[in-house]
Amino acid sequence: KGTEAVIRTCQKFRVQRLVYTSTYNVVFGGDPSNEVVDGDESYPYLSPEAHCDAYSRTKGIAERRVLSNGGAHAWRGSERKGDGKGCLYACAVRPAAIYGEGEWRHFGRIVKLIKQGAYAFIIGKKTARQDWVHIENLVDAHLRAASMLVTSDGAPGISVGQAYFINDGEPRNTFEFMRPLVMALGKRFPTMSLSYHLMMRVARGFELAYYLFGLTPMLTRCEVNKCARHHTFSIAKARKDLGFKPIVKIDDGMRRMVVWLLEQDKKQVSPKNSRHWKVFFSLLAFFLVLAFVSRARITSYM
């Protein structure tokens, strides 16, 4: 409904351009039998049932709505359709995992896990690669996509109704990507690897703990899929249509973000008297996950 409201508002106030920030997840769900190598925009949407979380499912629904009607949505009350002056023109940008200065929501949690010693193993194969995109590269892609929605004479542009994968063009294993941050926090980089299937069971346990006790999951099934399964997508279409070229290289972008994360971490203050609660809930979650995994193993042998 939120996306629908945005489209209606743009139509009401006669906005010409709309760039929807989508995600890789609209076409990639972590299916073990379908790892993606340099995929392109021809990949079909996943069905709503195939998504492992509500975020990915709703993103898929929203992107399809934005790109419906070829990405052209007539202004309300406009009698002229298709001339670039009576329509809202839209496209979608599908970013890889976003990183950079200012990203504390996800990386703040990763910092805490590393400091607590929870970043002790690698999930899946070390050869698996994933795409990343620095925030500056992503912003540049948005601006380019918007500029290509309408031509100088008001006609619909090349990006209308299109979706574009956007990344730094430098695929990297998730855990190797995190190495500079682990080192900067004075921790040992993990060498032990745990299987994808085992960690999916563990993640299910953490999700169950959330539903039962409201505990923030240390790991979700979607996160296991994203970091353990090889999935890379080509930015050739964005290069061709938008003239997109990554500005920030991945090593430089990560170096800058690590500096920012360390500065932010110093400002964080733990709530008073929270230590005992953390220990209690951590133990509770641990035993819950252990019981869940044990049950899953027993069931698999029966």
Q: Which positions are annotated as active-site residues? A: 55
Cα–Cα distance measured from residue 38 to residue 231, given in angstroms and rounded to the nearest whole number: 8
- In whole angstroms, what is the distance from residue 216 CA to residue 137 CA? 31
Question: Rounded to an integer, what distance in angstroms lies between the CA atom of residue 118 and that of residue 131?
Answer: 24
User: At 44, which amino acid appears?
Assistant: P
Which is nearest to 82 in space by CA: 155, 162, 157? 155
Mark out the alpha helices in the chain (DSSP H runs): 2-12, 54-67, 107-115, 135-147, 174-177, 179-184, 196-213, 221-228, 236-242, 250-267, 275-301
Rounded Cα–Cα distance for residues 81 and 11 (Å): 12
**Residue bearing tokens 């997109």:** 244
In 3-state terms, what secondary structure has residue 47?
coil
Q: Can you tell me which residue has the tokens 């430089």? A: 252
* Contact call for residues 141 and 164 (beta carbons, < 8 A): yes
Residues 247, 249: Cα–Cα separation, whole Å: 7
Residues in contact with 78: Cβ distance below 8 Å, sequence separation at least 6, in sequence order: 14, 86, 87
Residue 130, beta-bridge partner list: 172, 231
The residues, ordered by sequence, that sit 6+ positions from 35 with a Cβ below 8 Å of its Cβ are 128, 229, 230, 231
